[in-house]
Structure 1
């Protein structure tokens, strides 16, 4: 399974229910990587999307503790176990965990690849992703050349879980 995330220097991912920054090339990478695939997100992440709707062209799985929660165009799961059973219907390499913090934390032990947009800036934030640079079970296996968006510098990194 894959994780796809954008982090800042503190491995922050969001503030008050919103992404830290919107970088067009990061959005394009996200779209290119996940189109036609399976994405897993929490309810709050779904509700932060445009129109609070599932993303087009993908199988959307939403994780929520609310037993009455329903959303058109998505599979709703109420536990990690239920979500893992649903994900078992698809090729592992086609599954992407897209957030937020608690969903990343629950699924990280089951993922082998992380696509990380690393932003060279520190934002004010209230949600975080585990720092893979400090996790001995992960290693960075690829990094793009430095990119810029206005005065913001960032790179695209790929991490793999060590065997």
Structure 2
């Protein structure tokens, strides 16, 4: 599995179910990386999608404890124990990659199963945040393998950093 997130300087990812900021080029990058693959998200992340619609050209999986929840265009699982057999069934030859896209709880639960992370680091600390993912810079099991130049959108500066797991 792979993580794919935009984080601020404190590894915060959102507030009240929304991203910290929308960076147009980062959204294009997200699409390029995840198209043709599987994306896993929690219900709140799905609710933040435009019109709450599945991401095109991807298998969209929602993990929610709500056993009554249904949403057209999404595959729903109610636990991580249900998730792994589903992934094997859908992708027996592992031809598709699996991306954990949000939110923070799902990322923390699946971090141990991830071996790569695509992180957009935003050079700002957002005050109004309530959701975070673990700081991979402080985790000895992860190392940075690639770092882009610094980009800018309006007054937002950011860079792309890819990580890989070095220890299990």
TM range (shorter): over 0.9
Report the RMSD for the aligned CA atoms in angstroms.
1.1
Residue 137 (structure 2) pairs with residue 127 (structure 1):
no
Count the aligned residue pairs: 163
> With structure 1 as the length reference, what TM-score do the two structures score?
0.97
Q: 1:148 aligns with which of 142, 146, 152?
A: 152
Query: Which SS does the other structure have where 1:88 is aligned?
Result: helix
Query: Which SS does the other structure have where 1:107 is aligned?
Result: helix
Residue 106 (structure 2) pairs with residue 103 (structure 1):
yes
CA contact (8 A) 2:104 2:133 kept: yes
Q: Which residue of 1 aligns with 2:36?
A: 36
CA contact (8 A) 1:5 1:117 kept: yes
> With structure 2 as the length reference, what TM-score do the two structures score?
0.94
User: Gaps spanning 5+ residues in structure 1: where?
Assistant: none
Instruction: State how far apart, in whole Å, the 1-side matches of 2:96 and 2:46 are.
Output: 22
User: Gaps spanning 5+ residues in structure 2: where?
Assistant: none
Q: Which residue of 2 aligns with 1:58?
A: 58
Change (3 A) 1:109 1:93: farther
